[in-house]
Chain A
Amino acid sequence: MSDANLTATTRSADLDGKTRDRRAFDRSFGQQWLRKLALPIALVALLAGFALADDRILTSYNLLNIAQQTSYLALFAMAQMVVILTRGFDLSLGPTVSMVSVGAALAMAGMGGGEAGGLVVVTAALAAGLALAVACGLFNGVVVALLGVSPLVATLGSMNIAIGVATTISDGRPVQGVPSAFSQVFYTGSLLGLPIAIVIALVVGVALAFVLSRTVFGRSLYIIGTNPQAAAVAGIPVKRLLVYAYLLCSALAALGALMMTARTGSGEPNLGGTLSLQSIAAAVVGGTSLAGGRGGVATAVLGALFITILSNGMNLTRIDGYVQMIVLGAIVILGVVLDRLRLSAR
């Protein structure tokens, strides 16, 4: 009955608006499913393709290896995704990893290295890593949010600064003397039969998913990325939250850096290497939009998985490392092109 009343009183112009609303809804609904399933399908296809080429791919040993390797890249992709959500990105992520690696190794060596107790060593590494991450994130956040410098320029600058710091404090050489207690916590240890790297990535992933979807902070990041002006008008403290986003990005990168340092057993001044690009590639290929406001833990992790499987498969099928770089570069561009297409299809 209320429906009949409604149609009787609605004007024709309004009716047009409603049909339009419904059609747009149907269309976007179909697209959403396509978007969600595209990458998992690609992943399965990729695995199957490599498995045909080499039967070592689908062994349980290699699959666990892939999972473990993915954990590192997933952490960095999640870090990157947080700032990409706000229409930014962090080119300094790789060098931050290097800087944290040598910084933490130096701190542990300063505490007496293997002589000191495990707790002291781990605390020293965490403190040094966190301090450097905060410095980095704060720098990026302040330059981007408060000074209004574009993320490209800001993090390109801080990228060089971080490389400089990492090389200077380590004299450009690996910092030895990472105690086994540290490696125990961040690399060799395991929980419920799972390697510690996978456990850490899982915990971080679940926590970050909660933060992004259930907290005011996470919700605000999506709104800022979708429309920063509207966010400001609605009273969301845009600048402050942007600084937090860059801080969170650097903190996650630092955690990954500690894990990688534990794995290599030394502080490496070029540990970060191509991680900036890899993490952006993973996030974007997974479906995080560089235009901001779209993406999440799932897109970062799926993207990381995709890239890890790709490089794992390329390693096993003996594709040259430099060719792999070409592939990675092409994938970033492909990811961005796909993102453009998705946005313009709307």
Chain B
Amino acid sequence: MTSADITRTTTPNTAEPLLVLSGVTKRFPGVLALDGVDLDVKAGELHVLFGENGAGKSTLINVIAGTFPPTSGSFRFGGEEMSELTPHEARAIGISPVFQEFSLVPSLTVEENLFLGREKSAAGVLDAGGMRKRARELIGELGFDLYPKARVDSLDRAHQQMAEIAKALLGNVKLLILDEPTASLTERETGRLFELIAKLKTDGVGIIYVSHRMREIRALADRVTVLRDGRHIKTLDAATVTDGELVELMTGRKIDVLFPTIAHDPGETAIEVHDLSTADGLVKGVDFVARAGEITGIAGLVGCGKSELVRAIYGIAPIASGSVALRGKLLDRLDPRTSLRRGVAYFPANRGVEGLALSRPIRENVSMAALDLSRYQRGGVIRRAAERALIGPIMETLKLRPPNIERAVGDLSGGNRQKVMLGRAMARDLDIFLFDEPSVGIDVGAKVEVYEFIKRLVEQGAAVVVVSSELPEVLALSNRLYVMHHGRIAALLEGAAKTEQNVLSSFFEEESREKAA
């Protein structure tokens, strides 16, 4: 049905486009990541993939790069049907991807990385000289300021990005896939990349370009395909489409999960952050306020610093400069232990890594952030009966099924694991809650329970901060919504201004402000 929306070029062209996907579907356990997507890329064309986080862009480029096969649908490249394509074969036939997650080996040099897996050799002996020469030629051709003998882990992100691009262009490239390639490049390097793209296009290379940046789409794109919720929405001619049209197509209407109606009753200021920068540089000069009795949302793309902001408030991300005040009191030290004593809880996005001790029982995982309280211990000796008597009912309120608190957390499903985390919040008296991606990795039913839990907290007068990459989630839950971009606050949206379109346009405005500066 959606295939009818494709605007095909009207010029009669007997030759098949370089890449033709039709009806490509990709199903992961429990998720339909791609739902009958059509896409064609011609030789010498730059085709932009446009869509929100989770729209299916990465899944699509991964299918094309051979990372995993589509569940169904046809995938033709250079006139031939591709089945059982592996990443290695994909490279061999000229499909070269540059992902956001770099594929470089940190301990090897740039030139070693370029030839990784396709080393030149003669009689089993590496042809180091030949490889070095070719690496130099290529880097020279690209005009990158990159030293071939530098170890990758000594390079900053921008230079690693250059090495990654150089790696993709080594050898015979017919289709280049670039996933937000300018995210860590400076203006000058971006210019170089654009020149290079123009040259590749005249050489007849087809390019798939994933980007959120309007300016780049304007400068480079021939056609734009909009994806949403894993579906192909529309393919448009870049010359005629307007920015507004693209944003509208990207956001569209969604099949929402049922968000609860939350009665916000903003009270006193609970958290006040002033001019805060983190040591890792991901948060830069942020001012932020969260009040009791309301949910303060923080939206932004992956890597915008939203998560680091709450981590800094809780005391896990070291602070370079700026201040944090809780309930009007300026804090001189921040660490998880003192944060908990001050009534602040943090729920990490990655529960397996930062939240839970998987082989330990539920009981211990729930009480572990509260063992300093005299309810749970006396003189360092745990009061086991009291612990069981306190934790049991908590997990009962959270509807843990089966209600056995002695089982190892590692045996639980994602939803139950999140309940263990929520239980931890009830194990001691807290009134400031920092949620980092609260619904990631859990099913719809558990999501609703998490939202209900957050609703109860707020209505009891707690201050809640929700950080989320899922725009509908933060929009629906929060009373005030901060939008972060590249470590800074791009906007604070309240009331009627709190719309998806405003969030997205504030990304773009911030983007152009940055470029102008």
Give the contacts of A231-271 with B (CB-CB under 8 A).
231-237
CB-CB nearest in chain A for B448: A11
Give the distance in Å from the alpha carbon of A25 to the alpha carbon of B354 in the complex. 23
Give the chain B neighbours of A293 by CB distance below 8 A.
357, 359-360
Given A13-B445, A223-B364, A234-B368, decide whether A216 and B380 contact each other with a Cβ distance below 8 A: yes
Is B402 within 8 A of A226, CB to CB? no
Binary contact track B340-365/A, C-beta < 8 Å → 1, others 0: 10000010100001111111100010
Chain A residues, Cβ within 8 Å of B376: 216
B-facing mask of A142-158, CB < 8 A → 1, else 0?
A: 00000000000000000
Given the complex, which residues of A lie within 8 Å of B377, measured CB to CB? 215-216
Q: Judging by beta carbons under 8 Å apart, are A214 and B368 in contact?
A: no
Q: Flag if A227 contacts B336 (CB, 8 Å).
A: no
In the bound assembly, the distance between CA atoms of A25 and B406 in angstroms comes to: 11
A 19-34 contacts with B by CB, 8 A: 20-22, 24-25, 28
Q: Are B337 and A215 in contact (CB under 8 A)?
A: no
The answer, yes or no, to whether A222 is at the interface (CB within 8 Å) is yes
Chain A CB within 8 A of B214 CB: no
B411 touches A28 (CB 8 A): yes
Q: How many residues of B contact A (CB 8 A)?
A: 44
- Is residue B138 within 8 Å, beta carbon to beta carbon, of the partner chain? no
In the complex, what's the smallest C-beta–C-beta distance from B272 to chain A, in angstroms? 22
- A17-B411 in contact (CB<8A): no
Choose the segment among B180-188, B413-421, B455-463 that binds chain A (4+ C-beta atoms closer than 8 Å): B413-421
B316 within 8 A of A: yes
Cα distance A221–B316 when bound, in Å?
Answer: 20
- Encode contact with B along A26-53: 1 for CB under 8 Å, 0 otherwise: 0010000000000000000000000000
B contact residues around A236 at 8 Å (CB): 337, 368, 371
Question: 1/0 contact trace for B398-442 toward A, CB 8 Å?
Answer: 000110000110111111100000001000000000000000000
Say yes or no: is B268 at the interface (Cβ < 8 Å to chain A).
no
Please state if A17 and B380 are interface contacts (CB–CB under 8 Å).
no
Pairwise interchain contact A21-B30, C-beta atoms closer than 8 A: no
Binding site for A on B (CB under 8 A): 30, 316, 335-337, 339-340, 346, 348, 353-360, 364, 368-369, 371-372, 376-377, 380-382, 384, 401-402, 407-408, 410-416, 424, 443-446
8 contacts between A and B (CB under 8 A): A13-B443, A14-B413, A21-B411, A25-B407, A215-B377, A229-B353, A230-B355, A293-B360
Knowing that A17-B415, A216-B376, A219-B368 are A-B contacts, what are 19 other residue pairs whose CB atoms are under 8 Å apart, sorted by A's residue number? A11-B443, A14-B443, A14-B445, A16-B413, A17-B414, A21-B411, A21-B416, A24-B410, A28-B408, A28-B411, A215-B382, A216-B382, A220-B368, A227-B358, A232-B336, A234-B424, A235-B335, A236-B371, A294-B359
Shortest Cβ-Cβ A-B pairs, 6 listed: A17-B413, A226-B357, A235-B337, A24-B411, A234-B369, A13-B443
